[in-house]
Amino acid sequence: MDCLDAKSLSLPGTEVRVVQRCASTNSALLGEKGARCVLLAAEEQTAGRGRRGRRWHSAPGAGLTFSVARTVRRPVRELAGLSLVAGVGVARALRALGVAHAALKWPNDIVADHAKLGGILVETRGAGEALRAVIGIGINCRRDSSLSIRLGRKVAFLDDFMECRDRNSILEKIALALLASLEAFEAGGLEPLRREWQAMDAYAGHKLRVRLADGRVVTGTADGLAQDGGLLLATARGVRAIRSGRVLSARPA
């Protein structure tokens, strides 16, 4: 098994750390202060988290689990778009690595052939005049047939699409693309990346069932992103923007 090595990663302007084991890379970085950009990767997370507190499953050495912490100086109202920005960077890197069908599922999943390949968790903390954002990324690398059973859904792995021998090289390329997307967001907000996200939307034009934060389920056709990153859904009552919810199912319209 190849091992992650901080010295093998070249990320200008970013402090890189690798640990064998931790509870959660997001939690570790959220507890730190300072303005520097930091990447923390772990071979194993014992309490990795997904969106809405769900557990992130990853066997030691079987995937890539890392977080990037950096200061963000955009208005608070724009921060909901950070998971979309991160998704663009990750999917961009995966496509360059050979995962031609890498795509995005609103709001924070990375998919390939409509199976979950990875996920994104964004958390923020106040940091003076700016905010400290921690962007957690999890990518399935090596095939684990039991993972799909445990999660009750179709799961994809980098092994399905490309040689996955050097995780350090893969991590470096994904991190560089992620940092580039975050720089673009810092400079111009979500708008410069919104069209690119839409071009990689796995369910563009599909009929979706979306569970809202209050438990209600809405059905409609995916119609891109609102300017603030909300999911536009064309329903029987008109187009509405969903800003908090989960896509339950999707099928071609």
CATH of the domain at 218: 2.30.30.100
Q: At what angle do helices 82-97 and 191-199 cross, to 10 degrees?
A: 50
Backbone torsions φ then ψ of 199, nearest 5 degrees = -70, -20
Domain match, 170 and 213 both: no
Where is the domain boundary, 158, 183, 199?
199
Query: Do residues 215 and 239 both lie within one domain?
Result: yes
Rounded distance, CA 45 to CA 60, Å? 8
Report how many domains make up the chain: 2
CB distance 103 to 90 below 8 Å: no
Q: How many CA atoms lie within 13 A of 71 on its CB side?
A: 10
Residues 41 and 132 placed together within one structural domain of the fold: yes
Q: What pTM was estimated for this model as a whole?
A: 0.92
Based on the fold, state whether residues 143 and 91 are members of the same structural domain: yes
* Same domain, yes or no: 61 and 140: yes
SS3 12: coil
**Do 55 and 142 share a domain, yes or no?**
yes
Alpha carbon 71 to chain centroid distance? 18
- Residue 1 falls within a domain, yes or no? no
CATH of the domain at 179: 3.30.930.10
Residue 214: predicted pLDDT: 94
CA 67/CA 137 separation, integer angstroms: 6
Per-position pLDDT tens, the chain of length 253: 588 999 999 999 999 999 999 999 999 999 888 889 999 999 998 876 655 556 665 667 778 999 999 999 898 889 999 999 999 999 999 999 999 999 999 999 999 998 999 999 999 987 566 789 999 999 999 887 667 667 667 899 999 998 877 999 999 999 999 999 999 999 999 999 999 999 999 999 999 999 999 999 999 999 999 999 999 999 999 999 999 999 999 999 8
> What are the DSSP E strand ranges found in 13-141?
14-22, 37-45, 63-72, 102-105, 109-112, 115-127, 130-140
Count how many Cα atoms sit within 13 Å of the Cα of residue 227 in the half-sphere of its side chain: 2
Of 161, 179, 199, which closes a domain?
199
The radius of gyration of the chain's CA atoms, rounded to the nearest angstrom, is 17
**Are residues 41 and 135 part of one domain?**
yes
Residue 247 lies in a domain: yes
Residues 172 and 143 reside in one and the same domain: yes
- Identify whether residues 144 and 223 lie together within a single domain: no
Sheet containing strand 115-127, edge to edge, reads: 14-22, 37-45, 63-72, 130-140, 115-127, 109-112, 102-105
Judge if 182 and 233 occupy the same domain. no
Provide the residue range defining the domain that includes 226: 206-252
Q: How far is CA 232 from the centre of its chain?
A: 20
Same domain, 115 and 17: yes
SS3 42: strand
Residue 211 sits in the same domain as residue 167: no
